[in-house]
Chains A and B, each alone.
Chain A
Amino acid sequence: MLAILDYEAGNQTSVRRALDFMGIPSRVTADPQVIARALGLIFPGVGAAGQAMRHLRLTGLDRLIADWVRQGRPLLGICVGCQILLEHSEENDTETLGIIPGRTRRFSPDLLDEDERKISIPHMGWNSLRRLRPSPLFAGIAPEAEFYFVHSYYVEPAPEYILATTLYGLEFCSVLGRDGLWAAQFHMEKSGPAGLAMLRNFYDYCLGAADAE
């Protein structure tokens, strides 16, 4: 079973629906005992970083996530759940979890697209990835596959964590991580077959990690 962290930040149910769709067992929960039994933890997020962090601190879930990662257990962050793994977010000038070195920054409205026109913010729609490092998350997914993005902020992690980038006004990090600790800016639960394949790859990794223990 995968635990989907319930912290009142939006898209838990759409992640659960996507997992249901593939027959992958999951629970939307904030209960530490349920989470402890999970093979992997999905950390979703829609909304503002400041509000999300306040809720995580208030409920102690910030420490739960930090402990989970320290124990080397598999974690997958999505969208705002990706951004707040870093140290700081420009959204509401928020100190975030600090699990990955780096910062979350706002798209500048002065950035230009390929037609030399100012970009619209948020970055919303389907965009592709440029893979910089191999990852089990990418297994079986065509290199030209596109994913669904909706965001006004982007992550700038330490370079060694960048797994893939995407072009929108600038080249920003769209998938980050290392073995067992991953996060993506786009909504894989809304990204069609390619996004579902990525969720399945995470689940397969979690099954393998559990077998290895």
Chain B
Amino acid sequence: MLSKRIIPCLDVRDGRLTKGVKFAGNADIGDPVEAARRYYAEGADEIVFYDITASHEKRGIFLEVVEKVASSIAIPFSVGGGVSGVREMRAVLNAGAEKVSVNSAAVRDPRIIAEGALAFGSQAVVLGMDVQAVPPDDSVPSGYEIVIEGGRRRTGLDALAWAREAVALGAGEICVNSIDADGTKEGYELTLTRLVAEAVPVPVIASGGAGSPRHMLEALTRGRASAALIASIVHYGEYSIPQLKAWLREHGCKVRL
């Protein structure tokens, strides 16, 4: 029986973590490679890196980070941010990532999903979607709209329709990030997570809003997610991954210990 996955997410700018990561009894770590090593040792099932480097020239620094991570951990990891074509996908996969995540670029040109799936297989292509709750209308019947550019721009796309289209094009997994819940630490958007998970046959990763292990349990049961993305709940030393996993297992959720 498949285990639910716990996935810490690290934001990287110019080769450094944007906010430090603090492990129990230790000072902040700003080095993404060291943080990846620590989460690997703690039992993370996968790790996600987002490159939020603004300038194109500094892309090389990020690829060096990806290569170092690949040589430091023996679990899958995915990379997102700034990926707008098959060339960038190939660069991060060659650097040692298992999966590459596309978001805004796929909304602008959905062909990137099909081209990536054809070149590297569906298992390597993750669709990241940022979603905002809106009053339902003809173009967004579910009441969940896709937004891009970090939530600054609405697209008029319905989240469920977009999820189905992306899977038909070849996306192997979908990471559903609720803009409304993101950063609140009040829990994942369960209705949205469940709607997407029931609309597509591929695994769904819940993202945005984790503040406690109970929130993760809810996303993995009622939300029907296959995996829970976590950030501040572990980055600031509030919980460790073994603590979260032990709690989840005690509450009937199958996780890898």
For A46, the closest partner residue in chain B by CB is B121
For B123, the closest partner residue in chain A by CB is A150
Chain A interface main SS type: mixed
Find B256's partner among A118, A146, A150 (CB 8 Å cutoff): A146
Determine if A146 and B3 form an interchain contact, defined as CB atoms under 8 angstroms apart. Answer: yes
Tell me, rounded to whole Å, the shortest Cβ–Cβ distance linking B111 to chain A: 21
With the chains together, A105 CA to B2 CA distance in Å? 20
Q: Is B45 an interface residue (CB 8 A)?
A: yes
Q: Is A59 an interface residue (CB 8 A)?
A: no
Determine if B3 and A127 form an interchain contact, defined as CB atoms under 8 angstroms apart. Answer: yes
Q: Which residues of B contact A126 (CB under 8 A)?
A: 2-3, 5, 45, 256
Q: Is A120 an interface residue (CB 8 A)?
A: yes
Given A114-B1, A125-B226 in contact, is the A190-B123 Cβ separation under 8 Å? Answer: no
Q: Which residues of B contact A192 (CB under 8 A)?
A: 40, 43, 74-75
Among the stretches A12-20, A34-42, A70-78, A153-161, the one at the interface with B is A12-20
Q: Is A26 an interface residue (CB 8 A)?
A: no
With the chains together, A40 CA to B227 CA distance in Å? 36
With the chains together, A190 CA to B173 CA distance in Å? 18
Q: Is B201 an interface residue (CB 8 A)?
A: yes
With the chains together, A21 CA to B72 CA distance in Å? 7
Determine if A20 and B201 form an interchain contact, defined as CB atoms under 8 angstroms apart. Answer: no
Could you give, for residues 41-72 of chain B, a 1 whenever the CB lies within 8 Å of some chain A CB and a 0 otherwise? Answer: 00101000000000000000000000000111
Q: Is A98 an interface residue (CB 8 A)?
A: no
With the chains together, A113 CA to B218 CA distance in Å? 19
Tell me, rounded to whole Å, the shortest Cβ–Cβ distance linking B249 to chain A: 11
Q: Is B187 an interface residue (CB 8 A)?
A: no
Q: Which residues of B contact A109 (CB under 8 A)?
A: 201
Q: Is B76 an interface residue (CB 8 A)?
A: yes
With the chains together, A20 CA to B96 CA distance in Å? 14
Q: Is A168 an interface residue (CB 8 A)?
A: yes
Q: Is A148 an interface residue (CB 8 A)?
A: yes
Could you give, for residues 118-143 of chain A, a 1 whenever the CB lies within 8 Å of some chain B CB and a 0 otherwise? Answer: 10111111111000000000000000
With the chains together, A13 CA to B76 CA distance in Å? 13
Determine if A17 and B70 form an interchain contact, defined as CB atoms under 8 angstroms apart. Answer: yes
Q: Is B31 an interface residue (CB 8 A)?
A: no
Tell me, rounded to whole Å, the shortest Cβ–Cβ distance linking A102 to chain B: 24
Find B201's partner among A14, A121, A127, A150 (CB 8 Å cutoff): A121
Q: Is B98 an interface residue (CB 8 A)?
A: yes
Q: Is B29 an interface residue (CB 8 A)?
A: no
With the chains together, A13 CA to B95 CA distance in Å? 9
With the chains together, A48 CA to B75 CA distance in Å? 22
Find B76's partner among A114, A168, A190 (CB 8 Å cutoff): A190
Determine if B75 and A148 form an interchain contact, defined as CB atoms under 8 angstroms apart. Answer: yes
With the chains together, A193 CA to B256 CA distance in Å? 12
Q: Is B141 an interface residue (CB 8 A)?
A: no
Q: Which residues of A contact B40 (CB under 8 A)?
A: 192
Determine if B75 and A127 form an interchain contact, defined as CB atoms under 8 angstroms apart. Answer: no
For A18, the closest partner residue in chain B by CB is B74
Determine if A125 and B98 form an interchain contact, defined as CB atoms under 8 angstroms apart. Answer: no
Q: Is A112 an interface residue (CB 8 A)?
A: no
With the chains together, A46 CA to B120 CA distance in Å? 9
Q: Which residues of B contact A195 (CB under 8 A)?
A: 74
Q: Which residues of B contact A6 (CB under 8 A)?
A: none
Determine if A21 and B5 form an interchain contact, defined as CB atoms under 8 angstroms apart. Answer: no
Using A14-B70, A120-B226, A127-B3 as known contacts, list a sample of 19 further A-B pairs with CB atoms less than 8 Å apart, ordered by residue number in A.
A20-B71, A21-B74, A113-B1, A118-B201, A120-B203, A124-B123, A125-B3, A125-B5, A125-B45, A125-B227, A126-B5, A126-B45, A127-B1, A144-B257, A190-B98, A192-B43, A192-B75, A195-B74, A196-B74
